[in-house]
């Protein structure tokens, strides 16, 4: 190698070094130390996931120590094979690396760790690792890695590896490749499902290529990578690419000198046949290699710079600053980071565990529309649209669900994957320890209206008429038709029998308040939209009516059902009965929490008999009041809060954020803050002891909502902004911005002022209600109003 070329390489290394410089500490999530065989290995893998919403990679250690559960997941790639139902497929890995000296691998489980740390830089979306191993022969070596998947180009990833033999010189082998020997976890311990079969494995002078196909749907996943030594090339003795079965390994042997560092880099491309035009999809190797060549030509530093620029923009859009409470700020940042690495740039599913693991098999629940979607609606409307488009595209599956259960219209699946047909497993999910039949797929029908709630909220905040006319209306009408066939007429009234509400401790119940209230609203909305669009876009309505054979009198029938659907609330106290007969159940309240602060079930109550008690799993009536805040008075909310809060076991990650926001609504502020911190720290502190199985995406979205809708008290209506901020004492300032119908709303709240500025293309005056008082806000002008929450 010439001196000139080698100085070019040094420059490249220095350039990436500069780009990889760590951000300041408030942007870092640090995980220090390593405990062999402990659960923390997998918990850290979940927490340290990097991604871009198309492809996400768990933060596994490159040498994959025993007990690891590394994995890469691609949005929307599901397969069934021997599994009970379709599940998110673990894809071939490209981030595995192993370093050997004299037939001994440097691995955290067999070498001593003199130091070990993984650092997630949330500002840049990069995961770093630094480990100094001492092997059984006393050889000390430092391994440093950095990995990322690009935000500006979802198909590309990058990894840099640096090794330094600290107290020895000699031949070191560094291996990395493409690993197709990957399995999903099975239902029982040690059971595994194989979802992929080998299609093609090839090597060229500068690349390796692996193509695998999902066994059921035949989706082809292509991975191409270049793996090379960057500096110290003259030290390279051998480069041996090897293919073992479904694994490609590229082995580089170097003559290493004590104290010198050697840097390697891997450029990877990942795509599926779904990502390329049909006529090119039968030549995936060509697609992937072309892409890789182009990537190699551009060079990593240019790509990394672009990636960091995109991250800068994402944070400038979505960051929320809390001054005075570092713990809250750090936790919220982490949750926003999770939302950012899972935002879909194309229509596609968002599962209850995001793309962080196979937990809940990657399925999509109501978590998406009720808990996760609002962040995207208020920050990245096009991503929100993509989330809803997934539901729209799976309407045919929802129609089949309705048909299969003997109803009309469309019934969104309780658990959804590729087609929208219900994929709820028949037996208890892997997250629960016991095996029992699951009824949620047959009975948890509130999902149907939860999706529509998401549609309405999206439309209200964005005003996206085209989505409404081309997708939303059809979703609203077909699901309204489902309810019209699902209700039971009892005398002059309608009822909904045999459901499970959000509280899943009680199955086969009649007239769950949350469900019935949502259905009332949904049917009314359907009728109103029918009338409204009949006037504003009659042609579009006529076309849709023809497509779904909508009879003229159907909408009026929906309104009639809405009016006469049962809903039970004590007229004197305002207390809502969660379902028929709930008040007749044995009464218990949750006693003192355990030493971790978790609610403890009263003596004698267990998961087999809990359905005979008034104890509930998660917010139910309270969530209804949160979603429809203007339909219930503060007194009604308080009565229900006081009743249900001591009876809620919070055995779901969806519960705490609801109690945080409802706590603020009824001035239970200390409690609200406590619940907020639980939500915000849900995975960071492994609150439910199952973070190894993936991120709790609903609590991630819920913690953002608790700050924006809860503490800032922000509601965006179609024509006005409503604000009721209240800040905890130690929060000196809360500031953020949200998107509202092509405008940017900037809010800055302190204990004395509420500052608001609405940036817009044109100057207009918009109404804003603060603590119930109306103001007129001119766009592009700053306003400072008084902060004065009720005592």
Q: Which residues are catalytic?
A: 504
Decide: is 462 part of the binding site for ligand IFM (CB under 6 A). Answer: no
Phi-psi label, residue 741: left if phi above 0, alpha if psi -120 to 50, beta otherwise: left
Q: How many CB atoms lie within 10 A of CB 456?
A: 17
Q: How far is the CB of 187 from ligand IFM (least distance, A)?
A: 17
Query: By C-beta, is 360 or 682 nearer to ligand IFM?
Result: 360
Q: Both tokens of residue 696?
A: 């709790």
Buried b (16+ CB within 10 A) or exposed e, 259-290: eeebbbbbbbbbbbbebbeeeebeebbebbbe
Q: x/- binding map, residues 623-662, to ligand IFM, per CB under 6 A?
A: -----------------------------x-x--------
Q: x/- binding map, residues 303-342, to ligand IFM, per CB under 6 A?
A: ----------------------------------------
Query: Site size for ligand IFM, by CB under 6 A?
Result: 10
Q: Does 408 carry a binding-site annotation?
A: no
Pick the binder of ligand IFM from 78, 94, 366, 517 (CB under 6 A): 366
C-alpha 577/C-alpha 510 separation (Å) is 11
Buried b (16+ CB within 10 A) or exposed e, 24-49: eeebbbebeebeeeeebbbbbbbbbb
C-alpha 436/C-alpha 110 separation (Å) is 39
Q: How far is the CB of 430 from ligand IFM (least distance, A)?
A: 12
Q: Judge contact between 8 and 31, C-beta under 8 A.
A: no
Q: x/- binding map, residues 485-504, to ligand IFM, per CB under 6 A?
A: -----------------x-x
Q: How far is the CB of 447 from ligand IFM (least distance, A)?
A: 9
Q: Judge contact between 528 and 489, C-beta under 8 A.
A: no
Chain mean position to CA 236: 43
Pick the binder of ligand IFM from 62, 86, 367, 474 (CB under 6 A): 367
Q: How far is the CB of 365 from ligand IFM (least distance, A)?
A: 4
With CB under 6 A as the contact rule, which of the stretches 122-130, 360-368, 565-573, 582-590 interacts with ligand IFM? 360-368
Q: Does 366 carry a binding-site annotation?
A: yes
C-alpha 261/C-alpha 230 separation (Å) is 11
Q: How far is the CB of 617 from ligand IFM (least distance, A)?
A: 7
Query: By C-beta, is 92 or 359 nearer to ligand IFM?
Result: 359
Torsion from C-alpha of 86, 92, 95, 97, nearest 10 degrees: 130
Dihedrals phi, psi of 88, to nearest 5 degrees: -65, 130
**In sequence order, what are the beta bridge partners of 198?**
212
Decide: is 698 part of the binding site for ligand IFM (CB under 6 A). Answer: yes
Q: Where are the beta strands (DSSP E) in 319-402?
A: 321-323
Query: By C-beta, is 285 or 428 nearer to ligand IFM?
Result: 428
The residue count of the chain comes to 791
Decide: is 505 part of the binding site for ligand IFM (CB under 6 A). Answer: no
Q: Does 786 carry a binding-site annotation?
A: no
Instruction: Please provide the distance, in angstroms rounded to a whole number, between the alpha carbons at the two ends of the chain.
Output: 74
Query: By C-beta, is 49 or 652 nearer to ligand IFM?
Result: 652
Q: Judge contact between 29 and 47, C-beta under 8 A.
A: yes
Query: By C-beta, is 143 or 654 nearer to ligand IFM?
Result: 654
Decide: is 356 part of the binding site for ligand IFM (CB under 6 A). Answer: no
With CB under 6 A as the contact rule, which of the stretches 270-278, 361-369, 565-573, 641-649 interacts with ligand IFM? 361-369
With CB under 6 A as the contact rule, which of the stretches 239-247, 262-270, 358-366, 390-398 interacts with ligand IFM? 358-366
What distances in angstroms separate CA 432 from CA 29, 78, 416, 435, 659, one per listed residue?
A: 29, 22, 19, 8, 24
Q: Using CB under 6 A as the criterion, which residues of the chain lie in contact with ligand IFM when the complex forms? A: 352, 360, 365-367, 502, 504, 652, 654, 698
**Residues tagged in the binding site annotation for substrate:** 366-367, 617-618
**Residues tagged in the binding site annotation:** 366-367, 617-618
């Amino acid at each position: 190698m010439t001196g000139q070329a080698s100085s070019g390489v040094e420059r490249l290394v220095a350039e990436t070094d500069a780009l990889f410089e760590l951000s300041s500490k408030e942007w870092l999530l640090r995980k220090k130390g390593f405990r062999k065989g402990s659960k923390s290995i997998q918990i850290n893998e979940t927490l340290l996931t990097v991604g871009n919403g198309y492809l996400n990679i768990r933060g596994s250690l490159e040498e994959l120590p025993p007990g690891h559960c590394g994995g890469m997941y691609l949005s929307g790639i599901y397969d069934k094979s021997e599994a009970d139902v379709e599940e998110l497929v673990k894809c071939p890995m490209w981030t595995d690396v192993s370093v050997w000296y004299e037939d001994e691998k440097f691995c955290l489980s067999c070498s001593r760790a003199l130091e070990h740390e993984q650092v997630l830089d949330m500002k840049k979306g990069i995961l770093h690792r630094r480990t100094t191993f001492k092997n059984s022969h006393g050889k000390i070596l430092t391994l440093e890695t950095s990995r990322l998947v690009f935000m500006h180009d979802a198909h590309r990833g990058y990894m840099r590896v640096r090794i330094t033999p600290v107290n020895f010189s000699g031949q070191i082998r560094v291996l990395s490749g493409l690993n197709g020997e990957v399995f999903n976890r099975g239902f029982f311990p040690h059971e595994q499902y194989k979802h992929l079969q080998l299609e093609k494995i090839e090597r060229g002078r500068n690349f390796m290529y692996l193509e695998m196909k999902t066994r059921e749907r035949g989706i082809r996943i292509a991975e191409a990578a270049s793996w090379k030594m960057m500096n110290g090339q003259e030290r390279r003795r051998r480069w041996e690419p090897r293919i073992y079965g479904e694994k490609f390994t590229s082995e580089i042997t170097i003559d290493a000198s004590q104290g010198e560092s050697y840097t390697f880099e891997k450029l990877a491309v990942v795509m599926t046949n779904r990502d390329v035009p049909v006529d090119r999809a039968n030549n995936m190797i060509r697609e992937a290699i072309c892409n890789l060549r182009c990537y190699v030509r551009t060079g990593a530093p240019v790509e990394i710079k672009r990636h960091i620029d995109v991250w800068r923009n994402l944070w400038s859009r979505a960051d929320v600053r809390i001054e005075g409470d570092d713990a809250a700020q750090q936790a919220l940042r982490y949750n926003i980071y999770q939302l950012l690495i899972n935002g879909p740039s194309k229509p596609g599913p968002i599962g209850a565990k995001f793309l962080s693991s196979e937990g809940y098999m990657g399925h999509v629940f109501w978590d998406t529309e009720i808990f996760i979607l609002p962040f995207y609606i208020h920050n990245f409307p096009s991503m929100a649209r993509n989330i809803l488009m997934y539901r729209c595209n799976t309407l045919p599956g929802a129609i089949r669900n309705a048909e299969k259960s003997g109803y009309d219209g469309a019934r969104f699946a309780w658990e959804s994957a590729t087609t929208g047909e219900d994929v709820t497993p028949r037996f208890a999910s892997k997250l629960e320890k016991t095996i029992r039949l699951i009824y949620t797929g047959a009975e948890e029908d509130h999902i149907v209206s939860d999706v529509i709630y998401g549609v309405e909220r999206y439309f209200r905040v964005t005003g996206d008429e085209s989505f409404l006319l081309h997708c939303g209306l059809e979703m609203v009408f077909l699901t309204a038709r489902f309810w019209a066939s699902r209700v039971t007429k009892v005398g002059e009234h309608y009822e909904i029998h045999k459901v499970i509400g959000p509280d899943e401790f009680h199955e086969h119940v009649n007239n769950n308040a949350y469900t019935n209230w949502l259905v009332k609203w949904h049917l009314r909305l359907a009728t109103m939209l029918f009338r409204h669009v009949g006037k504003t876009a009659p042609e579009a309505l006529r076309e849709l009516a023809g497509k779904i054979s909508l009879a003229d009198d159907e909408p009026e029938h929906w309104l009639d059902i809405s009016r006469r659907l049962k809903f039970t609330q004590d007229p004197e106290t305002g207390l809502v009965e969660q379902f028929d007969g709930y008040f007749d159940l044995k009464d218990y309240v949750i006693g003192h929490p355990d030493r971790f602060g978790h609610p403890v079930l009263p003596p004698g109550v267990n998961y087999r008999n809990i359905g005979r008690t008034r104890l509930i799993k998660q917010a139910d009536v309270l969530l209804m009041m949160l979603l429809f805040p203007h339909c219930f008075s503060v007194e009604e909310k308080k009565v229900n809060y006081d009743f249900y809060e001591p009876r809620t076991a919070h055995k779901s990650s969806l519960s705490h954020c609801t109690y945080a926001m409802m706590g603020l609504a009824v001035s239970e502020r200390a409690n609200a803050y406590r619940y907020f911190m639980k939500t915000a720290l849900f995975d960071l502190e492994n609150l439910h002891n199952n973070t190894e199985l993936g991120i709790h995406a609903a609590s991630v979205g819920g913690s953002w909502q608790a700050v924006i809708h809860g503490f800032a008290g922000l509601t965006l209506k179609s024509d006005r902004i409503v604000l009721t901020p209240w800040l905890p004492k130690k929060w000196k300032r809360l500031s953020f911005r949200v998107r509202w119908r092509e405008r940017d709303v900037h809010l800055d709240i302190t204990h004395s002022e509420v500052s608001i500025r609405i940036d817009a293309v044109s100057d207009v005056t918009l109404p804003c209600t603060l603590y119930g008082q109306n103001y007129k806000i001119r766009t592009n002008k700053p306003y400072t109003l008084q902060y004065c929450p009720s005592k």
